[in-house]
Structure 1
Amino acid sequence: DIGLNSLDGETFDRVVELLRDDSRSLCLVAAATGHALLDYFRLLVRYYRRDVILLDSTDRMAHQLIDLPDNAILLASVFDRHSRMVE
């Protein structure tokens, strides 16, 4: 089982606390179709915290990650536009 149902309440609460910690940079990364979702997520999160970075495509990711602070939070997302196997 993957997704939200695979997280227990304690783990979910910990993720929320990490996302709320505005003393640390929040870096978002996703590939392909997931990038647009995280771009919108960044837009909404910026209402609550300022230091939110959406990494560019995967070919430039390493160059952007090198400048992040040691205590930055990295949220990586995988969004498969096909929820089930397509035959």
Structure 2
Amino acid sequence: MNRPVVPEQQEYDYIELDDLDIIGTLGVGGFGRVELVQYTKDPTLTFALKCLKKQHIVETQQQEHIYSERDIMLSCKSPFICR
């Protein structure tokens, strides 16, 4: 399978939420949704952005679960995960 070569340490920390336009919804779940977003300054950059409902997470006491998921994603080295 041919995959694009992406530098392992490529970071997107310069991108802020205000720099993203929502293109559409990719999926919906119990804690939120995943949106397809596009970087306004470079329309060739698109991402899937996971949006969580903070109030629902707190009400169901799932904070540790969410933190664990974040830590796992940050530890992964994949061109499909922005850190």
What interval of TM-score do these two structures reach, taking the shorter chain for normalisation?
under 0.3
Which has a greater percent of helix? 1
TM-score by length of 1: 0.26
Which has a greater percent of strand? 2
